[in-house]
Amino acid sequence: MKKKLTLWILLLPALAFAQVQVKDGAITIDLGKKKNKTAQTDSTAQEQTVEETEEEPAIVKKTKPVKAKEEDEDDPNFQRDGLFKAMFSAGLNLSQIDGDEQAGYTHPGAYVGVGAMVKFHKYMSVNTGIYYTMRGATKKADVNITPMESFRINWDYVQVPIMFNVHDKKLVMASVGIGLNYLVRNRITHQVDSFGTGLVEYNLSGLKNPEPKRFDLTGIAGFQFFVKKVFGIGAQFEYSFLKLRPSYGLNTRVRNMYNNTITIKFTYILDPVQLKAQRNKRGG
């Protein structure tokens, strides 16, 4: 009994991994079939794996990397661009005075001053400053008229403009506003050739000619084109709202005198914030 039990214990592992067949009442054990079957199973699995790898790979959609949102240069950034900007302007006045019997913008004069701009919106700003503006009128002598005569009016003002500006793509600036003007120089000269010996100049200021008003309020409209956002060139038109004095002469449709001026001017905008950033960049 013990011998049979020992025999079954020894044969039990072989039976577990072998192919057992019962034929004609005899039990046969085939150790190779089990192994072969296992080998076939492994071979089939490998073939399936190869077939799966040979299949076309799934299409993967390429997605572009999401870029960080760049800062919009058109949006106002007062920390970057600065709220206040200095303005330096110089130009040429071509002026006349309505009510002086003389037509045409024939009187040249200087226009120069400094100011400050406050840009509170990407499309809008305001500016003011202090300017010296030379206005007046000139009548040249006509050799075909006897007696030959000419006259010249010089009215120089210190002006404080208050302007509202509209910007378009940082290239064009249209402006409208008012000018507060104070007269600092008044000179009226009259040249007459009464005896054919040449023109003789008379200063008529204060002589039979009432002084013009010291204060003049003018309306201003203009535009400028900018290069690199700092250099501007443009023109403006200016006209008096107030009567300055009675008309000079009798052959005029206007009963009073008014300043009428066209200015061609150049502007340079100085941004202290950008200058500081440029210095820091060069220093770094």
The predicted-structure confidence for 16-67, as pLDDT tens digits, reads as follows 555 555 555 555 555 554 445 555 555 555 555 545 555 555 555 555 554 4
156: pLDDT strictly greater than 70: yes
Domain count, the chain: 2
Residue 245 lies in a domain: yes
How far is 221 from 215, CA to CA, in rounded Å? Answer: 20
How far apart CA 117 and CA 163 sit, in angstroms, is: 9
Tell whether 31 and 103 lie within a shared domain: no
Residue 219: the pLDDT is: 98
pLDDT one-digit tens code per residue, 142-153: 666 666 677 788
138 and 183 in a single domain? The answer is yes
Residue 266 pLDDT > 80, yes or no? Answer: yes
- State the Cα–Cα distance between residues 116 and 120, nearest whole angstrom: 13
Is 161 inside any structural domain? yes
- Expressed as residue numbers, the domain containing 246 is 81-281
CB 260 within 8 A of CB 240: yes
pTM of the model: 0.66
Structure tokens at 217: 């309020």
